[in-house]
Structure 1
């Protein structure tokens, strides 16, 4: 098990909060380390950027570098952000995850915790039966792909979470050919080979509001003001359910 590190980010400011949205969201970012790490994604660095962006937006954010441990500590948390990699890429017979972690995620979803899945999290938490159905998509080895990292334009679609947002440029990967699970509302898209693919979507899963963004490969992605704004908007939308268990 990786060494547990939790870093807390206090809200940097208080913003005007629309009706139905919690002013003091409590957020945990579960970040890839140990078997959830990989050679391609600097999860520690990007999770710190995510935490900084969301705390600047008025949330109370902590970063937990042990994904399985984070899922045991979701009481009192409004939004779970997962920024982690594929735990099954290391070997063909992965060790089982702690049952307390599985129960923790299941209980949090049952009460309606907000979920934000970032980038490679569509390939993560494979030992958690509830994860893929909750986020609505999964990376399929040998089928899912992305063209080389580079500058791309993101088209923002109409949705309550993206109201007033403009299209934006970002340096990132463009995930394509994911397996979709259930219905989702696409809120942003990118193009590859003259075909549109989802970049971000929202959905309801039981009592939970779930947002997924496929952006966030490395630090360069978060240099985009449009990407930072999309992250804030998706997190606020997911947090509006705010069924917090103390």
Structure 2
């Protein structure tokens, strides 16, 4: 049975704005058709064996504005699993996690910059397809209720990033969903998923399952 592990942020890997227990549970329901789904908090991660790695690691985590400092054991475990060949799907506030560690930035290809990044008020969101494809995945545009992160710090030299969906804010295009080759195993990032309502969108749920299935195919 395919092993999908959802890591839900807690404590230093949460924040005041997201109820990650709720979104992780909603995400589990979305991904359950693809295999056996487990949800663990970041506080429980150290109790899991380091090997074998899950077939897919899904990161529904965050972090406080001041960062978490270096040497975070949660980050070390996630990076080790990826380096060992486990693909990673990172959603929404994962770009707020480990912002003071360039290795997470390099893995995802983006991070939140305090005082620069932002989003319009949570509400109707038009998600536009770029028409590009990666790993045989091309996403259609759709409409949902969510936050639309904007003005993230992007790894500009990242030639591996294929943006699959975007939104327009203040006349400028901002990436929302992308795919990266990322060395040891592929990585997909979706900036959507602020609360459980986002995962109730059939279109968004379908997009996530297609991303996850593509990651599992490698």
- The secondary structure found in structure 1 opposite 2:186 is strand
2 CA distance for matches of 1:35 and 1:67? 9
1:97 counterpart (48, 52, 72)? 72
Structure 2 residues without counterparts, runs of 5 or longer: none
Q: Does 1:80 align with 2:57?
A: yes
Aligned to 1:48: 25
Change (3 A) 1:165 1:75: same
Corresponding position of 1:151: 124
CA contact (8 A) 1:72 1:104 kept: no
Following the alignment from structure 1 to structure 2, what is the Cα–Cα distance between the partners of residues 211 and 227?
A: 14
Name 2:93's counterpart in structure 1: 120
The equivalent residue for 2:203 is 226
Is the contact made by 1:28 and 1:79 (CA closer than 8 Å) also made in structure 2? yes
> Displacement, 1:187?
0.3
Distance 1:28 1:71, change over 3 A: farther
Partner of 2:151: 177
Measured in 1, the distance between the counterparts of 2:85 and 2:11 equals: 28
Q: Is 1:141 aligned with 2:118?
A: no
Whole-angstrom CA distance in 1 between matches of 2:80 and 2:93: 24
Q: Which structure's CA Rg is the greater one? A: 1
Q: Does 1:30 align with 2:7?
A: yes
1:64 aligned onto 2:48:
no
CA contact (8 A) 1:29 1:81 kept: yes
- 1:7-26 correspondence to structure 2 within 5 Å: 24-26=1-3
Matched residue of 2:206: which SS? helix
Provide Cα deviations, 1:203-231, integer angstroms capped at 9, x if missing partner.
11112100000000001111211110111
Deviations 1:20-49 (A, max 9, x none): xxxx43111110111122221111011001
CA positional deviation for 1:102: 4.8
8 Å contact 1:49–1:219 — kept in the other structure? yes
The answer to whether the Cα contact below 8 Å between 2:70 and 2:101 also exists between their aligned partners in 1 is: no
1:192: Cα distance to partner? Answer: 0.6
Q: May I ask how many residue pairs the two structures share in their alignment? A: 213
1:52-105 CA distance string (max 9 Å, x none)? 1111x221111111257269645231111111111x43x57758533xx45433
- Indicate the RMSD between aligned Cα atoms, in angstroms: 2.4
Secondary structure in structure 2 of the residue aligned to 1:130? helix
Moved more, 31-40 or 227-236: 31-40
What TM-score do the two structures reach when normalised by structure 1? Answer: 0.78
State the alpha-carbon separation in 2 of the partners of residues 234 and 70 from structure 1.
27
Change (3 A) 1:226 1:67: farther
Q: TM-score of the superposition, structure 2-length normalised?
A: 0.87
CA 32–102 in structure 1, closer or farther in 2 if over 3 Å, else same: closer
